[in-house]
Amino acid sequence: MERYQQADPEAPAVLVSALSPSLLRFFRSQSATLGQAEDLLQDTWLRIHRVRHTYRPDEPVLPWIYAIARRVRVDGYRRSRRIDSHETAMEALPEWPAEDKPRHAPPVFEALVAALPEAQREVITMLKVGGLSLEEVARATSSTAGAVKQKAHRGYDRLRKLLRSYAEAAGGAQ
């Protein structure tokens, strides 16, 4: 990151290749399609580039990166919601036929966290997908470690309930 600030021409490639996969997974786990996630990834790097002078070498880099990514995601979500609201006003998309939806499919991480409230989903995704520590998640979300811990606890409790309901639904279907 320091080399990037000093305009070393090799630094961007190193940073982009090292951090982009986890950033893309972060966006994907937040209910974005691959195309949307790649757009958000590009936006994130643009913003990182614009504000690279605000990184301090003595501070951890991941919270700095994820704080920016998180903001890009929020802006992207608000933008797409605005566009969606205009589009649905003109033309409502038909629902998928119920038969086509996989019933009682085994729950995967992404499907499970998608059912969580946004704040819990974000914290759990950063912890499990981004590999950030509690303290780093607190920094990235402008919060305190205590608040992050509480959200994670609530999120895991909710995941347990969801898993149980999946299991019961699957048991009932058999």
Residues 135-174 that bind other proteins (CB under 8 A): 135-136, 138-140, 142-144, 147, 149, 152-153, 156-157, 159-160, 163-164, 167
* Residues 20-49, interacting with other proteins (CB under 8 A): 20-21, 24-25, 28-29, 34, 37-38, 41-42, 45-47, 49
Q: Does 115 bind other proteins (CB under 8 A)?
A: no
Q: Does 87 bind other proteins (CB under 8 A)?
A: no
* Cβ at position 131, least distance to other proteins in Å: 8
Q: Which residue, 34 or 169, is less far from other proteins as judged by CB? A: 34
- Residue ranges in the chain assigned as alpha helix (H): 2-5, 11-29, 34-50, 61-90, 109-114, 118-125, 134-140, 145-173
DSSP string, 19-30: HHHHHHHHHHHT
Q: Counting Cβ atoms within 10 Å, is residue 71 exposed (0-12), middle (13-18) or buried (19+)? A: middle
Q: Which residue, 23 or 94, is less far from other proteins as judged by CB? A: 23
Q: Which residue, 42 or 95, is less far from other proteins as judged by CB? A: 42
Question: How many residues contact other proteins, by CB under 8 A?
Answer: 75
Q: Residue 44: which residues within 8 A CB-CB, separation 6 or more?
A: 23, 65, 68, 69, 72
Binder among 31, 36, 67, 170 for other proteins (CB under 8 A):
67
DSSP string, 103-142: TTPPPPHHHHHHTS-HHHHHHHHIIIII---HHHHHHHTT
Q: Does 68 bind other proteins (CB under 8 A)?
A: yes
